[in-house]
Amino acid sequence: MSPSINNQGTVLIVEDDRNTAALVAAYLEREGFRTLVVHDGGEAIQAAGECNPVLVILDVMLPNMDGWEICRSLRKISELPVLMLTAREEEVDRVAGLAMGADDYVVKPFSPRELVERVKAILRRSRPASPPSLSLLSFDGLELDMEKHKVTRDGRAIALTSSEFKLLKALMSSPGKAFSREELLNHCYRHGEEVIDRVIDVHIGKLRQKIEDDPAMPRFILTVRGHGYRFSEDDEV
């Protein structure tokens, strides 16, 4: 196993051809992966459990246990990504490998660079995307942190009243949505206060003074004539 400064995880290489295994390992290590090479099918399952790999590159033709059997065994205990290597290019073999749960199938001879890119592509697909933060709203340098009850513009803190914060939160939570003044009032005053809807115009005016470069030509909080206001969308920046 070779160490890497920019470690992207360990790739287990199961390949009885030592030259091929060494070549694949060298290219993967250049890209920041650790590698563990085993040459015998019987060692592959044990190695997969011990080294906690992010992916297995699995040759089909192996001594003691072939790649098909190893792939079936891995799939019974894990969703570990598997890339199959084989010298057989018949369609039936490719279909069989994918049907057994392999994530990709590469025929020898192959380009080591292409193999590495296929490994990266499999890992991109298999790793869940990071969920967006539910507490932070951000748009073109303007950020609203719900947990900290804090608003910043290009890193500079902006002091807002409670009503202004509630208004901005409602608008930023649904960019592009046209809110009526009554809807925005409901976000600001939820306890039955008697407030005329034009108070929203006052709050919006003060908000624009605080967050816009030019309050007379706003790019964050836009007016919807005859209705109310909406927050800008990405394609309007």
pLDDT of amino acid 138: 92
pLDDT of amino acid 189: 65
Answer with the residue of higher pLDDT: 57 or 80: 57
pLDDT of amino acid 51: 86
Check whether 132 has a pLDDT greater than 60.
no
For residue 116, give Cα distances in angstroms to 27, 106, 119, 121, 190.
7, 11, 5, 9, 57
pLDDT of amino acid 125: 80
Domain ranges of the chain: 10-126, 136-236
10-126 is classed CATH 2.40.37.10: no
pLDDT of amino acid 5: 38
Check whether 159 has a pLDDT greater than 50.
yes
For residue 197, give Cα distances in angstroms to 200, 202, 204, 226.
6, 10, 12, 13
Q: Return the CATH number of 136-236, one of 3.40.50.10860, 1.10.10.10, 3.40.50.720, 3.60.21.10.
A: 1.10.10.10
The CA distance from 145 to 134, in Å, is 9
pLDDT digits (tens, 9 = 90+) for 170-222: 999 999 999 998 888 887 765 444 455 578 899 999 999 999 999 999 999 99
Contact status, residue 142 vs residue 211, Cβ threshold 8 Å: yes
pLDDT digits (tens, 9 = 90+) for 118-128: 999 989 887 76
Say whether 70 sits in a helix, a strand or coil: helix
Residue 31's Cα: distance from chain center in Å? 20
The CA distance from 237 to 232, in Å, is 8
pLDDT of amino acid 196: 58
Confidence of residue 104 (pLDDT cuts 50, 70, 90): confident
Buried/exposed 197-211: b ≥16 CB within 10 Å, e otherwise: eebbeebbebbbeeb
The CA distance from 44 to 71, in Å, is 10
Of the candidates 184, 161, 162, the one whose C-alpha atom is nearest the C-alpha of residue 172 is 184
Residue 137's Cα: distance from chain center in Å? 17
Same fold, 10-126 and 136-236: no
Percent of the chain with pLDDT over 90: 46
Contact status, residue 204 vs residue 217, Cβ threshold 8 Å: no
pLDDT digits (tens, 9 = 90+) for 23-62: 999 999 999 999 999 998 778 888 888 888 999 999 988 8
pLDDT of amino acid 232: 94
Please state, rounded to an integer, the average pLDDT across all residues of the chain: 84
DSSP-assigned beta bridge partners for residue 18? none
